[in-house]
Structure 1
């Protein structure tokens, strides 16, 4: 074989290898470039959820009957918007934030959760809106913090009371009190609940820039400056009246 033929064959083989590796290299570059985009999107979603929870806290604070309940609360699951399209038994309800109260009366940074369906009391045709599940005691907080997936209902051994159906003077009779700004969302029953509440590892890690578990939030020592306005609003809403 002549030197020229050998060179032509070598060049052809080299071109073939480059063409063959092209898609794999492009796929690798695509994966590498999409990772920062995904992280940025997760961070944006987490920030929006925290910001959306602040006006919900203000609504809670404006409800005068809520004051004694907020003052004794041990934890709070805030769902800024339980979507109308998700209102159905077993339907997915959107996203929530869980905060626990510290011994000094202030609140921890939020852990991120995805919400399942309302288990009881859903009123057909009701529009969505904010929901807050107030955790009244350590029993309720412990049930939440020990698991990545939990339910707030009777099946989980918790008494969950519909706030709008509570009589005056019965504040705190349940382990959890369900509050909604949407009248009639829970229907006419006294006992309600949420099921299939799952820890959102991806959003939580994206917001704090590190890997955390529900147990990490149990101490109340998790913080981030971006959550400070929400924590402050909740501290003011739950402060003892002077």
Structure 2
């Protein structure tokens, strides 16, 4: 009996190692996304907001495609900031579907800066919906981010996105 239990547990080791490797790869891609996006000279506002943010969710790749039927999805890393610094990462997936007149493909990198405790609590909810659970202001890299400053001050979450493709 002990032998069977040992063999069963031994069979789980590769799956656990694979999951850990995938999570580390996601953390590595998220780190590169933050470095790339925050080093952009047009992103001064994001760097300012990050200093006092309660947390950040980084989605290194959100892919969107559609032709009448559309879909969008990606994996994200969430970290919160406490008195002792940043927390360990939590892993989230995001996705949506749509129907209607649409055509195109788009690839985005998104950083959600969580500015309030309410925003952080809302994101930690497994069924979070933007707009319903927290107010969100969105800025696109390279486009007048300064124009969203007053909106960002009242938002729970501010999203900065770098997007490639047409949709």
- TM-score normalized with structure 2 length: 0.74
Structure having the higher strand fraction is: 2
1:61 aligns with 2:38: yes
Per the alignment, residue 112 of structure 1 pairs with 91
2:120 corresponds to: 141
Task: Tell me the alpha carbon deviations over residues 50-69 of structure 1, each in whole angstroms, 9 at most, x when there is no partner.
Answer: 11111111123222231221
Contact 1:87 1:93 in 2 (8 A): no
Moved segments of 4+, more than 4 Å: 28-33, 84-90
Give the structure with the higher percent helix.
Answer: 1
Contact kept in structure 1, 2:107 and 2:164, CA below 8 Å: no
Distance in 1 (CA, whole Å) between partners of 2:149 and 2:13 is 52
Instruction: Say whether 1:38 aligns with 2:38.
Output: no
Where does residue 75 of structure 2 map in the other structure? 95
Using the TM superposition, give the Cα deviation of residue 34 of structure 1 relative to its aligned residue in structure 2, in angstroms: 3.6
Structure 2 match to 1:151: 128
Whole-angstrom distance in 1 between the partners of 2:53 and 2:128: 18
Q: Which runs of 5+ in 2 are unaligned?
A: none
Show structure 1 runs of 5+ residues with no match: 1-27, 188-242
Give the Cα–Cα distance (whole angstroms) in 2 for the partners of residues 126 and 99 of structure 1. Answer: 29
Aligned length: 153
Task: Tell me whether 1:161 sits opposite 2:141 in the alignment.
Answer: no
Deviation string for 1:61-95 (max 9, x for gaps)? 22223122111211111111112458998735121
Flag the structure with larger Rg: 1
